[in-house]
Structure formats: structure tokens, C-alpha cells
Structure 1
Amino acid sequence: MTYDFCIIGGGIVGLATAMELLKRQPTASLVILEKETLLATHQTGHNSGVIHAGVYYAPGSLKADLCKRGAEATKQFCTEHGIKFDVCGKLLVASTALEVERMEALYARSQLNGMKVERLDADELRRREPNIIGLGGLFLDATGIVDYREICETMARVITRSGGEICLEKTVTAIEEHGNSVTVSTHDGVWRAKKLVVCAGLQSDRLATLAGIKINHQIIPFRGEYFRLPAAKNNIVNHLIYPVPDPELPFLGVHLTRMIDGSVTVGPNAVLGLGRENYKKFSINWRDVAQYTTFPGFWKTIWQNLGSGSVEMKNSLFKSGYLEQCRKYCPSLNIDDLLPYEAGIRAQAVMRDGTLVHDFLFAETPRMLHVCNAPSPAATSAIPIGSMIADRIFKPS
């Protein structure tokens, strides 16, 4: 048979896209191909579980709009389907005079974005969070927490009830575009569709290349290493606690995150990964390493971020350095509080000139759309991202 739509990738962006396509065309046939035994195995299932409010993004930008709409849509989806979430709020804590300056810039940006943000002085910060210290802070009451794996499981049920099919353990080995269809081969079958959407995250560049598309970027894996606090410290904070980020860096810094199960995690840092899907520390995929070390953009990126990268690597190797990142705003933590927790891996698209891609990156042909980069916070923004992808699929040819 020839499906109307085939989607490669069973993370939250692929699932949200499938839901939107079936919503717009209820009689369509649709199949999702996922290489793992479960959905949401990689980036979606390893993130911090935060429903972001979008304070970091430039006013009027696509990311700001998608994040704001995505947070509302995520909460609405959870409410409609009985998924537990908690709008616990988030505190950005400034620990130095420089961070106070950055905090004020974020406050101004939040006002332009029409966000509800409250400035706190040091005394008010301590009153609301007795275990946190700082020169001041910003409080965003709209930030929440949720289990994105549960959201994906619910999306999968919506898709199958709408007539869609989800096929697990289907590793794609070939993609061929024809005049009126696309053929996708796996190790045990062939799938044909009038339109193909690829939402493959960590493998997105490889699948674009497999489909014969010339791209100018490569996915470089960055590990985000987390720790979990002991259960006795689950009440150490009342909100999510983030440092004020350095705008020159692509990551948000080590933060304390309340999880929907009641636990508290610390992290993540950002270190070069030794494999796209190698979550255990020091686990290496030599194919992945060989691929990015022969890519010119990799070395340019490393050189441009040598200072911050060296600090991140040192803190990864020595837990005491990691701890100091937390103690600057939560001094009561000690080394024994940092218990093991599974790492995440971020698919960072890097151009050949070393530029980190911070925006959406698509590769399109008449019958294929490859999502080559879906920037953070893609989980929060997944539902409107799915709508944006559907707009591209249904645009007049």
C-alpha cells in the first residue's frame, strides 16, 4: 500500500506532527517508523521535563512565539488527557554583579515578549527560597514540569485511535524519492508514502544524506550530565532554580529541577559526547567520533568555545567542580548529595564554518521534509512545531 504520510522518528516532534496531519486530514493513512523498541527513547525521554515559558528568546522571534504557544498547548493537552503536570514556577538567580546586569536584560526582553515576570531582591529571594542565595532574581510563574514520555504515550494513543499506525524496531536503511511517492526501506520491509516527514533528531543529518539531500551541517552530540539529590532533600527548593545564563553560550547552565515524581535533579552541564546515543559515561561510538572529527565545522566550534568547553570537561571529570556550579546559589549542597542519574544527549546542528545552529533547519524536496534542527525547547514547543510542519506539508505546490 501507499500511505498518505510516513513519519520517521517517534520522538515528541514526530508524534505531534502526526497528530496534526491526522487532525487536518482525518481520512489520511499515516505510519510512523521508529527504530527503537519504545517511543521517546532519546532526546524527548532524556530532557529535564520542564514546560518552558520562553524568557530567553528574542522578542518577536519564531522561538519565542512557538515556546509561548507550546507551553499553553502542552498544558491544555495534559488537562484534556489527565496527564499530571505542575506549574511550580521558575527562579532565575543572579549571583554576581555581571549576572544582575544580564538579569535586567532578560527582564526587559520578557516585557517585550508580554510575559509575566517578577523581579526579586536578595531578601525576597531568600524569603521564597530559604536554601537559595543570590543578589536578586526573576520569577516566572508560568513555568511548569511534566513527564514528556507520558505525553508521548498519550499522543501515540491519539494517533492510533485516529487511524495512524506506529511501527517500532524499524531501522531505516534506504530512502528513495520518486515522481509521486517516497520509498522507505527498513531491515525487514518497504514502506511507500506520498509524503515523507523525517523527525530523526540525533540521526537527522544521516537520514537527509541517505535520502540524497546535500546538507552543509552535521549533528554534533553534546552530553548533558545530571545528578539526583537524595530523597531527604526533595524539598530543598519550592520552584525550579536556574542561574542567569551567559548569552554568549548556547546552554543554560546547571540548575535544580523539581521533577514531576517529586525528586530533584541537578544539571545539566554540556560536554562533547563520545557517541550520539551513548548515555553511559566514557561509552564510545567510534563511528560517531570519526564522523565529527573529520568534519571541518567541529574543529572550528571547538576552537571558538575552547575556554568554556575546557571548564565543562573539567567539571565533568571532577564532581567537585560540578558541585561548585550549584553551590554558588545553593550552598547547603555537598558532594554526597550528587547521586547518579542518566545523562541526556543534545543533537546540536553545526555548520561547516563552525556556526552553531540555534534556529529551525529544514531540508525539503517535492515529497520530503527533513527536520534537520528543532532547537530547544522543542519538547515544550512540539505541538505548534507539528502545526508548522503540517503547514509546510499542505502548502500549495
Structure 2
Amino acid sequence: MRDVVVVGGGIVGLATAHEILRRRPGADVLVVEKESEVARHQTGHNSGVIHAGVYYAPGSLKARFCTEGAARTREYCAEKHIPVVDTGKLVVATNDVEVGRLADLTDRARANGLSVTRLGAGELRDREPHVTGLGALHVHATGITDYVAVCRALAADVVATGGSVRTSVAVVGIEETTDAVTLTLDEHGWRTTESARRVVVCGGLQADRLAAMSGLNTGADSFQIVPFRGEYHRLPASRAGLVDALIYPVPDPDLPFLGVHLTRTVDGGITVGPNAVLGFSREGYRKGSVDLRDVAAYARFPGMWSVARRHWRTGLEEQRDSWRRRGYLRLVQRYCPELTVDDLLPEPAGIRAQAVLRDGTLVHDFLVRRTARTVHVCNAPSPAATSAFPIAAHVADLAAPAG
């Protein structure tokens, strides 16, 4: 019997396995990942940003974990010689409503202990000549890195410290007794089992289905993972010096998305995105991908209809702009008017796993549920990549008893 099995080879799952082995050298820890490589889903399709924690409610898990996680991520990248570029971030207000929201963001950032500076329109133009707005918030402690490289390093560390990482292994059953948890695994069509004293599930886009296998997703407390496609473009090489910092719009506080932004990448490019389009497939990255099982799951879920009633107009606008580059472009031209539709080159999309509760609440913070011997990370939205190390420590605390 193994000590711990971690389900999921994204950054949260790998960081958790790494943390357990750091605390308990010699423990028998196995990571199982259903894809052929680690970091194939949310971790491998994000913006690569090391967030500072400007958006998150003071005292929330997001706020606490983001600040600590940014420092830990930088330390780990330095140890493993993974590139980090400290870019800073400008959150740009383009109308009077956003100027008011910017004041609220400034207060929130300072309450979270961050170093930020308010800029007027002229100061913004001096700092970023290609960006226009009524003002901006300069967030100093923001950077970029390569999270896929971080995951590969974590997987190598897990193996080097006595653990195991097995890919192309899907969990299709979870059975818990008083003494152990038995996982039924599917590996290339062959069914096997693994037993462990503790199981940690970091299932991302499949979190609700895996939680249901442990009896944690029924009744009034149930939640549904709803996929939102984050579609990106990349600017041409001729635009590589367009901005110095990362450029973000002021987000809508009622939605868990940050808006279409300009993000420098560690390879020297600039990406544009993401938007937030309701997806019709949890793991279908090509535009137009449809998985009827995924659609039926959220179509039957009462909370999804509540979300739709509240946000149908925004949803339609996002779908329209998804199919029309000019509509997408307008979102960027609000703060960078010189960009043209020809500047929006293809870039792979990402898919965000958004947990929705039965009453229609969009879960903004991290959501963790557990049984006597399992811990499920049910919702780990941005800044989960930045926060992976403190999330892992929190999960390891919950999974600590070895009974």
C-alpha cells in the first residue's frame, strides 16, 4: 500500500507531491496523470504570469497564497534556472467607472501589503507610449515565467526524491474504507488498482467528476465545473517592443475574469488575451470543439441556468467577439488603439475550469473538500499557478495524518 497517491499532473498536483516528499523523505508517493505528459491542460495554457495579488479580497485564500506563492515561485525558478522576467503590471482605466474601480483596487492591493503606484494619464503615456487611458495602477511585483518548465522540474524532483510519476493513467473509480483508498485506473484500456493511505485529487477540469467518485458532490452542496475558453492571439515580431509592462484592463468585479490583456512572454513575444467564452468541451482546444457529455452536464445543472440568467448579455458579447476578430480587437484598442486586426495572429487557446455552485454562485476562491482519507482541490482558478506552492502546503496539512 502506498502512502499517498496524487491524482493530476498539473502544477498544483505536482507541487503537492513535491511538498509531501519534502516533509516526509522516503514516503511512497505516486502521481497519476491521464495525459501523456504533465501540464497538458490549465497549467500549460495560461499566460505565464507570476501574479502579485492585487485583485483578491484581503484575508482570502487567494490573497494569502498569491503573495507567498509569488515569492516561492521565484525561489524555485532561480534554483532550477527557469527564466523569470520581472515586468510589473499596469491596470489601465479607460472610463470614469473604471477610474472608480481603480481606486477600490488600489485600496485592496495596499491592504494585501503590495507596493503599488497610481499614475495619471500623462504619467501612463510617459511610461508606456503606446498605451492610453485616464489613469493606471502600477503593480510592481508582477513577472512572467514558463510554468510548463516548472512542472517538468517538479516531476523530476518527485522522482529524484523517491516518488513516482505515471502518465497516461486515468482514474475511473475511487473507493474509500476505514483503512485505505483504492483507485481504479485505466491505462491504455487495461484496468488496474492502486491503494493508498491518503489520496489527494487535483483534477482541474475533471474536479467535479472525481469528487463525485468520493461522494463529495451531491445534493445542495454540489458544484459543477463549467469550461470557459480563453482565446489568445499573438502579436507579430515587429510588435515585440510595444509594451514594457503587462497591460491589463480594469476587471468587472462581478466576474472572475481579468479581461483581455497584453502579456509579454519569456520567449520575447507578446500575447493578447484571454477572453472568456463558454466552452462546449472541457478539453477541446480547437475552436468549435463540442463534447456532448460536457454540454449535457452543465445544461442539467440548476446553477448554470442561474448564471446564464444573470450574465446572458455578457456571454453573447463574448461569443460574438470570439468569432469576429474585429470585435476582439475593440477590447484591446480601448487601451492600445494603434493595434490593427492584422496584428492578431493565431495562438493556442486555454480552458478555465470554473466551479459553479448549485445556487448559481461562481466560486471565486480556492475550494477544497475532503473525506476522512481524501482531499479534493475542487476549484483552483487563477492565480493557482502562482500560488501552487502554498496551495500544496495547505493540502499537505489536510492530508498529513498517516493513520
CA drift at 1:214 = 3.5
Which amino acid in the other structure matches residue 75 of structure 2?
A: Q
Distance 1:218 1:377 in 2: 20
CA drift at 1:62 = 2.1
**CA-to-partner distance for each residue in 1:189-223, whole Å, 9 max, x for gaps?**
21111100000100011111123334311100000
Q: Are 1:283 and 2:289 counterparts?
A: yes
Between 1:322-331 and 1:172-181, the stretch displaced more is 172-181
Q: Are 1:371 and 2:377 counterparts?
A: yes
Alignment map for 1:40-79 (pairs within 5 Å): 40-79=39-78
**CA-to-partner distance for each residue in 1:294-330, whole Å, 9 max, x for gaps?**
1111111111111211211111121111100000100
Q: Which residue of 2 aligns with 1:317?
A: 323
Distance 1:161 1:133 in 2: 50
Distance 1:360 1:78 in 2: 24
Task: Report the TM-score, using the length of structure 1 for normalisation.
Answer: 0.98
Instruction: Calculate percent identity across the aligned residue pairs.
Output: 54
CA drift at 1:179 = 2.1
Distance 1:190 1:291 in 2: 27
Q: Are 1:264 and 2:263 counterparts?
A: no
Distance 1:81 1:367 in 2: 33
Distance 1:396 1:329 in 2: 53
Q: Is the 8 A contact 2:198 2:402 kept in 1?
A: no
**CA-to-partner distance for each residue in 1:143-202, whole Å, 9 max, x for gaps?**
000010000000111111110100000011211112211111112321111100000100
CA drift at 1:396 = 8.9
Q: Which residue of 1 aligns with 2:110?
A: 111
Aligned CA distance change for structure 1 residues 165 and 396 (closer, same or farther; 3 Å): closer
Distance 2:36 2:123 in 1: 48
Distance 2:152 2:27 in 1: 21
Q: Which residue of 1 aligns with 2:101?
A: 102
Distance 2:196 2:19 in 1: 17
Q: Which residue of 2 aligns with 1:139?
A: 138
Distance 1:395 1:360 in 2: 22
SS in 1 for 2:272: strand
**CA-to-partner distance for each residue in 1:107-147, whole Å, 9 max, x for gaps?**
11112221100111111111111110111111112100001
SS in 2 for 1:261: coil
Task: Report the TM-score, using the length of structure 2 for normalisation.
Answer: 0.96
Q: Which residue of 1 aligns with 2:205?
A: 202
Q: Is the 8 A contact 2:61 2:366 kept in 1?
A: no
Distance 1:235 1:325 in 2: 20
Distance 1:238 1:58 in 2: 28
- Out of 232, 245, 251, the position equivalent to 2:257 is 251
CA drift at 1:395 = 5.3
Which amino acid in the other structure matches residue 50 of structure 2?
A: I
Q: Which residue of 1 aligns with 2:150?
A: 151
Q: Is the 8 A contact 2:197 2:402 kept in 1?
A: no
Distance 1:44 1:91 in 2: 24
SS in 2 for 1:14: helix
**CA-to-partner distance for each residue in 1:331-372, whole Å, 9 max, x for gaps?**
110001111111100000111111111122222111111111
SS in 1 for 2:226: strand
Q: Is the 8 A contact 2:229 2:349 kept in 1?
A: yes
SS in 2 for 1:93: strand
Distance 1:287 1:338 in 2: 32
- Out of 344, 361, 383, the position equivalent to 1:338 is 344
Distance 1:210 1:233 in 2: 48
**CA-to-partner distance for each residue in 1:56-96, whole Å, 9 max, x for gaps?**
01122221111000000000111111111101111111111
Distance 1:185 1:247 in 2: 41
Distance 1:186 1:275 in 2: 23
Q: Which residue of 2 aligns with 1:191?
A: 194
Distance 1:304 1:340 in 2: 31
Distance 1:166 1:331 in 2: 47
Deviation >6 Å, runs of 4+: none
Aligned CA distance change for structure 1 residues 396 and 171 (closer, same or farther; 3 Å): closer
May I ask how many residue pairs the two structures share in their alignment? 396
**Gaps in structure 1 of 5+ consecutive residues:** none
Q: Are 1:355 and 2:361 counterparts?
A: yes
Which amino acid in the other structure matches residue 14 of structure 1?
A: G
How big is the alpha-carbon RMSD for the aligned residues of Structure 1 and Structure 2? 1.2
Distance 1:113 1:354 in 2: 28
- Out of 286, 299, 307, the position equivalent to 1:301 is 307
Q: Are 1:87 and 2:90 counterparts?
A: no
SS in 1 for 2:399: helix
Which amino acid in the other structure matches residue 206 of structure 2?
A: Q
- Out of 216, 221, 227, the position equivalent to 1:213 is 216
Q: Which residue of 1 aligns with 2:237?
A: 231
Q: Which residue of 1 aligns with 2:3?
A: 4
Q: Which residue of 1 aligns with 2:395?
A: 389
Distance 1:329 1:383 in 2: 34
Q: Which residue of 2 aligns with 1:174?
A: 173
SS in 1 for 2:284: coil
Distance 1:214 1:338 in 2: 41
Q: Which residue of 1 aligns with 2:161?
A: 162
